[in-house]
Structure 1
Amino acid sequence: MKTSIGPDTLAYPNPIWCVGSYDKEDKPNVMTIAWGGICCSKPAAVTISLRKATYTYGSIMERKAYTISVPSEKYVAEADYFGIASGKNTDKFKDTGLTPTRSEVVDAPYVDEFPLILECKVIHTLEIGLHTQFIGEIMDIKVDQEALNSKNQPMMEKVAPFVFGYGIREYWSLDKVIGQSFNIGKKFSK
């Protein structure tokens, strides 16, 4: 039996992504989000949703670009801090000792120490309510060389991303393969 708990944002799990942008003074900033996902395959595009009250919102509106730095598990504390502190009041890169790197593709920085980077150009915005959804065309993806397999694809175990459980306010790691996509379900085909 299921129990109704009412409407909420409990679509488990939520990705942990660190969104990079430059402010008006060209200062690099990064904030952690959990509202995001791939939204189109052609063009390759990803969406993030931010509140207008965030410092990053104004920067992305002005520059029409952002990066997504996917942190590995060993950077869970830094990623959490990026979501707690405001770039308006502090230099998050200086506070954590992480390195902002200027994208050569879009007008935004990324976190150099994180293994997977998506560089995005804003192609649409949508006002939803409390949040604005930014749809970014993925202009390039950068991956640490040691995290690539022989087919030049990121290996999940080397990227070591983690996810967020909104309602329970916990970060969870991903630890093993449980099946091959577009294959394991074929047993139900007739």
Structure 2
Amino acid sequence: MGKQVWKPGTMVSPVPPVMVSCGSLEKPNILTIAWTGIVNTIPAMTYISVRPQRFSYPLIKESREFVINLTTRALTWAADYCGVKSGADTDKFSVCKLTPAPASQVGAPLIKESPVNIECRVNQVIPLGSHDMFLAEIVAVNVDEVLVDQNGKLHLDQSGLVAYSHGEYFALGEKLGSFGYSVRKKPKNNPASRKKRLGKRKRA
């Protein structure tokens, strides 16, 4: 089967449809962003790409702060709404019945209903063309306690995160593996190894 060659386009998929909160507790706003990700580990850094025409653009550029709020199945309607409506004439927090809550390190509010809120402080604004990239350092992460077990391990898979792919939202499905599973050695006490050892003993 052959390949069709298309013109350049935004074909990396799926992506996270995060809700970015900005402004202040007194005048908060939300915009939904799909162009985001992690760009560095130490220091922890992320980015969001925003069209200059968006209502939230000057709010973020002037304050140089924002919060990335992860979207769950329960928040999908709100994420979609916040992506198509403008904060210039809509109180998105009110319409979506979301709660602006104080962040720990930045002036922008976080969305209380989101399980993970990533507080960010802008380092650079990089014009790219249709969008400007806000390159930012992650200064704090807020996590719902219900997702953390007694050993301090985060079980983000239990939060019901969603993905966005070419205009559609999808709930994340079954687990296929964990980081490094392709090269991880199987434990010696697994049933297959035990059966093999017993077989060797009988032949001996």
After TM superposition, the score normalised by the length of structure 2 is: 0.85
Deviation digits for residues 22-61 of structure 1 (CA, Å, limit 9, x no counterpart): 16x9400011010010011111011110000001110011
Stretches of structure 1 that go unaligned for 5 or more consecutive residues are: none
1:36 aligns with 2:36: yes
Q: CA deviation at 1:152?
A: 2.6
Other-structure match for 2:8: 7
CA distance in 1, matches of 2:156, 2:183: 21
Gaps of 5+ in 2: 186-204
1:33–1:7 distance in 2 versus 1, CA, 3 Å: same
For 2:21 and 2:131, locate their aligned partners in 1 and report how far apart those are by CA, in whole Å.
Answer: 18
Partner of 2:80: 80
Q: Which has the larger radius of gyration?
A: 2
Q: Which of these residues, 178, 181, 196, is aligned with residue 180 of structure 1?
A: 178
The residue number in structure 1 matching 2:164 is 164
SS of residue paired to 2:21: strand
Amino acid at match of 1:80: D
CA distance in 1, matches of 2:150, 2:41: 23
Q: CA deviation at 1:186?
A: 5.2
Q: CA deviation at 1:173?
A: 1.1
Give the partner amino acid of 2:9. Answer: D
Q: 1:174 to 1:185 in 2, by over 3 A?
A: farther
What value does the CA root-mean-square deviation take over the aligned residues?
1.7
User: C-alpha offsets along residues 47-80 of structure 1, whole Å, 9 cap, x if unaligned?
Assistant: 1100000011100111010000102111110110
Per residue, is there more strand in 1 or in 2? 1
TM-score after normalising by structure 1? 0.91
Distance in 2 (CA, whole Å) between partners of 1:16 and 1:151 is: 30
Are 1:52 and 1:131, in contact at CA under 8 Å, matched by a contact in 2?
Answer: yes
Residue equivalent to 2:197: none
Task: List structure 1 runs of 4+ shifted beyond 4 angstroms.
Answer: none
Q: Provide the rounded CA distance (Å) in 2 between the counterparts of 1:81 and 1:153.
A: 32
